[in-house]
Amino acid sequence: MSANTLMVQGTTSDAGKSLLVTALGRWLHRQGVRAAPFKPQNMALNSAVAVNGGEIGRSQAVQALACGLEPHTDMNPVLLKPNTDIGSQVIIHGKAVGNMNAQDYYDYKPQARIATLEAHRRLSERYEVVLVEGAGSPAEINLRANDIANMGFAESVDCPVILVADIDRGGVFAHLVGTLELLSDSERARVKGFVINRFRGDMALLTPGLHWLEQHTGKPVLGVLPYLPGLHLEAEDSLSLGASAAAAEKEGQLRVLVPVLPRISNHTDFDPLRLHPRVDLRFLPADQAIPACDLIILPGSKSVRGDLARLRARGWDQAIQRHLRYGGKLIGICGGFQMLGHRIHDPKGLESQAGSSDGLGLLAMETTLDSEKQLSNQRGRLAIADAAVSGYEIHAGITTGPALDNPALYLPRGADGALSADGQILGTYLHGLFESPPACAALLGWAGLDQAPDLRLPCAARRGHRPPGGRCGGTSGRQAIAGTARPHGLNPGRNEHRDHHRPSRRDRLEPHGAPARASADRIEPARAGAGGGSGRMPGGRAIRRHFQQRPAARPRHGRSDCRPQPAQGHPGCALTGMASRDLDRPDSAQSRIASPARLCHLPRQYPRPADSAGREPAPTSSARHGGHVRVCPTPCWRASPGGDPWRSVG
């Protein structure tokens, strides 16, 4: 077997594979073990820019940060970005090689397999441990031939497998037993044990089922992970429309609306707004009209012309025009920015059929889609309040026009985006626009959020869980996920001679491919056996030690909150803090949201309901901006019965 590779597979999508790989990577990093994440094939519209300029899935970028590394294209050599119901853009080693339908990609798979094996070999040579994440389920019978994402890859590199199942969705025993039954004998032998994810309730009621599962399958239950409410890790490709269900409880909130388009991409742009205590963020599904709000954000899209057509079919274009007439603000990001112009041209048919489409006509510009994709990480300043901003670019369009003479951002490569003359519309190609605290504060102030506080989100608020011990640095990364339920069948005193915490000696991200640390004391915690067990990290009893509970570690500093200390650095929030942009840097983008600069902005204005004939009411009060924007003295959502701020007026 491969001595330094462990693969985590799931019985279903969203079973917890990404979380477990991230957790193990963070724990190994804190033990001083050089570990790297790896996903052979990923299908996702949420992507990130790697340090070497390529494109990978966001989950692998988060896992790399948890391991103390900068994301690299070797960590996700094959990325599929769906652009139709039957086709995807295929990205190999971070670069797009073309659009393929399902049959074309099936024929291309032998080349994709070579790419995955080459990338894994390079990682194995550079790191002590490679943590591999599977995709979907290994029991998809129709996808077994030429599989490079699950058991096909595990057999190619000869590595053990952990199988994860989600008990919260129900049927966990059927998922585990059924998956094993559908595997071949050799594949079944690779499964070293089970992990049950998202358990909530009385452990005593689950224990009989665990005993039955072990007896029936002959496989151990390695651990039971608790349900962590409000856990905020960057999503791989899923979007929850109820993500801000608790926002109605916020007082003095800014209402932000994101229309959900069929090919929406990089919706992780809005994660900082989800967590902001004074922002009521809503993702608007296709069957709803646009309600009254302060800010509308058009997100990125993998099929700009197609999504623009759907936007028009739903009548959202007219609702956006009305939103602007009443003084609302509008932001377009990447594909959403392209939609704001007069025309979008796709002469090569890169996203759909070749041709051109009319844009929303809100900015004087045109965009031509090009096969050469722009990939880069950027830092610069917003034109609004001269606030610092950072993010990344992933786009394949060239935009020109007079609107660009008034840019929205200033980057080292030059100006970016556009800001309308009346200050109501902002467009940019930069993803991660709200990740930088000064930029987030400036943009929210521009949109109408008054007197935003100096917000320093504790790790518990950002990640939905405070580890035992009361401090974000008070437990090991492993204990944060498994501390509430000791692994089934383990003896708590078995490893007492090694029950100590060794905080990471590296308080900065390491470049990918840095020389391996040969210190024996760093390698020993993961490699050395205990109680006469196997010394190999991936399988058998050695794996159980990854989940065994440890006592709380001594914090690095005496503060009871999670604010970074400039002198000592910030240890992160064990497991639950591992998804921040820069886990160990005091200026972490998610560690705080600074107070906004005092900005001049239009007052919040909301349209009153239309009459029975569908006509808009005559505006009252004085006119602004040439008579096009008028202030409604009593916003309809405040005067409506029940005061429902999200009652549709569209």
Domain residues of the chain, as ranges? 1-229+465-555, 245-447
Range with the lowest mean pLDDT among 247-261, 346-360, 464-478?
464-478
Mean pLDDT, the chain, rounded, equals 75
Domain 1-229+465-555 fold is Rossmann fold (3.40.50)
Q: What is the pLDDT of residue 563?
A: 38
Q: How far apart are CA 430 and CA 406, in angstroms?
A: 16
Instruction: Give the other-Cβ count within 10 Å of 612's Cβ.
Output: 6
Q: What is the pLDDT of residue 485?
A: 29
Strands (E), 102-203: 129-133, 161-166, 191-199
User: Whose CA is closest to 81, among 116, 37, 47?
Assistant: 47
Provide the pLDDT confidence category of residue 422 given band limits of 50, 70 and 90: very high
Cβ-contact 363, 301 below 8 angstroms: no
Would you call 431 a catalytic residue per the annotation? yes
Q: What is the pLDDT of residue 644?
A: 40
Contacts of 520 (CB under 8 A, 6+ apart): none
Is 1-229+465-555's fold the same as 245-447's?
Answer: yes
Kindly state the helix (H) or strand (E) to which residue 117 belongs, with its residue range.
Answer: helix 102-126
| 316-325, 506-515, 589-598, 637-646: range with highest mean pLDDT | 316-325
The residue from 120, 431, 488, 570 that is catalytic is 431
Cβ-contact 70, 64 below 8 angstroms: yes
Two tokens at 488? Answer: 């089934």
Q: What is the pLDDT of residue 241?
A: 47
Cβ-contact 483, 467 below 8 angstroms: yes
The SS3 assignment for 26 reads helix
Provide the H-helix boundaries in 383-502.
437-447, 459-463, 477-482
Q: How far apart are CA 198 and CA 166, in angstroms?
A: 6
Cβ-contact 133, 62 below 8 angstroms: no
Cβ-contact 38, 132 below 8 angstroms: yes
Assess whether pLDDT exceeds 60 at residue 445. yes
Cβ-contact 197, 16 below 8 angstroms: yes
State how beta strands 425-428 and 329-333 pair.
parallel
Amino acid at residue number 363: L
Would you call 601 a catalytic residue per the annotation? no
Q: How far apart are CA 60 and CA 63, in angstroms?
A: 5
Q: Which of the pair, 468 or 5, is modelled with greater confidence?
A: 5
Q: What is the pLDDT of residue 252?
A: 55
DSSP letter (8 states) at residue 598 = P
613 burial via Cβ count (<10 Å: 0-12, 13-18, 19+): exposed
Assess whether pLDDT exceeds 60 at residue 160. yes
Cβ-contact 394, 374 below 8 angstroms: yes
The arithmetic mean of pLDDT across residues 250-261, rounded, is: 83
The residue from 334, 440, 472, 562 that is catalytic is 334
Kindly state the helix (H) or strand (E) to which residue 636 belongs, with its residue range.
Answer: helix 636-639
Sheet containing 78-82: give its strands across: 41-43, 78-82, 87-92, 95-101
Amino acid at residue number 129: V
The arithmetic mean of pLDDT across residues 222-243, rounded, is: 71
Percent of the chain surpassing pLDDT 90: 52
Q: What is the pLDDT of residue 504?
A: 40
Cβ-contact 427, 408 below 8 angstroms: yes
Give the Å distances, CA to CA, from 581 to 52, 64, 572, 590. 17, 10, 11, 7
C-alpha R_g of the chain: 26
Q: What is the pLDDT of residue 510?
A: 60
Instruction: Give the other-Cβ count within 10 Å of 476's Cβ.
Output: 26
* β-strand partners of 411: 414
What sign does the CA torsion over 442, 448, 454, 457 have? negative
- The model's pLDDT over 601-641, given as tens digits with 9 standing for 90+, comes to 333 444 444 444 444 544 433 333 333 333 333 333 333 33
Provide the pLDDT confidence category of residue 130 given band limits of 50, 70 and 90: very high
The arithmetic mean of pLDDT across residues 532-558, rounded, is: 38
Assess whether pLDDT exceeds 90 at residue 544. no
* β-strand partners of 98: 90
- The model's pLDDT over 49-81, given as tens digits with 9 standing for 90+, comes to 999 889 999 999 999 999 999 999 999 999 998
- Can you tell me which residue has the tokens 């490679």? 130
CA trace torsion 430, 432, 437, 439 (10° rounding): 20
The arithmetic mean of pLDDT across residues 303-326, rounded, is: 94
Assess whether pLDDT exceeds 90 at residue 32. yes
345 burial via Cβ count (<10 Å: 0-12, 13-18, 19+): middle
Q: How far apart are CA 139 and CA 107, in angstroms?
A: 21
Q: What is the pLDDT of residue 647?
A: 35
Does domain 245-447 match CATH 3.40.50.880? Answer: yes
Q: What is the pTM of this model?
A: 0.64
Q: What is the pLDDT of residue 483?
A: 33
Two tokens at 152? Answer: 């096909």
Q: Which of the pair, 174 or 628, is modelled with greater confidence?
A: 174
Q: Which of the pair, 247 or 188, is modelled with greater confidence?
A: 188
Q: How far apart are CA 302 and CA 322, in angstroms?
A: 27
